[in-house]
Structure 1
Amino acid sequence: MKKREKRKSAFMQELHRDINTLKELPWKKKIEFFWDYYKWTAITGIFILITLCTFAHIFYEGQKPCRLRVCVVLNTDENCSSWFQPFIESLLSDGKPGAVDINLDQPFDYDNKYYYVQEIEVMTTISSGRMDMAVCGPDMYSYLLALNACLPLDTGLSRELAASLLAEGKLVYDTANLTQDKNGNVNPADGIDGYYAVNLSGTEFHDLYNLTQDSTEPLYAVIISNTEHLADCESLLMALLQL
């Protein structure tokens, strides 16, 4: 206890000394003094504040009534907001409560050196129930598969829609739940096979926003497995496929 009190006393003395020094300095020198002596403390405090604000925002957004949340990560830099506007108006015309949120700002690119941050953002969004559906390219689709976050469409969709998409060859057969262990190894026995995505090739949406000279990668529609808004997800899926 004596050592702790001694350390506390020394800290308070140092703090009082710095405060008195600050009082005697002109404004510009005060900033320089504070930055020289408390730079890392300030940076740590700002980081903690940003983190708390981010989680508070996530919690707040999660509480807002929303009937459909869609994450769109295109292979191109095209802006598809104009395509979604008439869909939103049509969906909301039934008078049911809840907004429709189309997130066009989520980056996801494994060529980006900060891709792990993007993975955390997507995982957090899904685990907090703020993503019902994703329209994305191969990078994000592969991550959703690894998370086992994709709804098996052959069993999850209505029987008529699933049968139609199977007959047209639109459903994508893949393996989910394949993640690396701490040694970087993947156990194939952990894999779960199924139809987890819809290939949007040949659709108007694909031709408008994915069919460019710079993009040859496929575009998928994925329904997130923990969605509570399957009917509205099916409505968007049919709109994308022009059914």
Structure 2
Amino acid sequence: MSLTCILVDDEPNAVSLLEVLIGQTTSWQVLAKCYDGIQAIAFLKKNKVDLIFLDINMPQLTGMELAALLPKSTKIVFTTAYAEYAAESYGFATIDYLLKPITLKRFLSATEKIESAFSQEVANETTGKKDSDNYFFVKSGKTWKNILLDSILYFEGEKEYVRVVSAADELLIYRRLKEIEEQLQAPFIRVHHSYIVNIKMLDKVQDNHIYIGNKQIPISDKFRSGFMEMIKQRAF
């Protein structure tokens, strides 16, 4: 797949690594290398790109501040050494969240997710379908079931298995929660070692817990600040 992208990071070595990984593993075109948010804004005012690889901790303008200035539809892959911003990042059109140091294996996983997201977008435009038509198949026992992503309330990790819970059904599949997380994007958010939730399905947040119907889900310290920041962004 042919995509255009820019790299935004104040660390030259990080920019160089991304450029090498992209050149060696994809047919994407890097249109610009920006070493701060101001350079990125100047470039994007005159040029259109499919994707932005964006660092978070930068001087003058952080990655989160820059993302907030971009059109909401702008596709972003955040690249950072700080895991605590992961939940907050999905308040944008985030496709993936890469933790530094970025390994080849993790980058290849990201490229699959990126190209899948763009392929789905093209398919939706061609068929007139909306994102709510997104679906996937899960195998439970000997049965493959088709599930709409929007119908899922949460994923619950149980060692080697993941429980997929929707309003109408529960399925237990042989996968790790981390593998599921790598295939998901907004509105799904990791809030605990054992839980990924669909933020659209939340009823309330109270006393370090999320409530979805009768289900009470804990918010761990690792994910709390980023998650609450996202909640505040949507608060009146």
Asked if these proteins are the same fold (TM beyond 0.5), I'd say no
Bigger share in helix: 1
Higher relative strand content = 2
User: Highest relative contact order (Cα 8 Å, sep 6+), 1 or 2?
Assistant: 1
Superposition TM-score tier, normalisation by shorter sequence: under 0.3
Q: Which has the larger radius of gyration?
A: 1
Give the alignment's TM-score, normalised by structure 1. 0.27
Q: TM-score, normalising length from structure 2?
A: 0.28
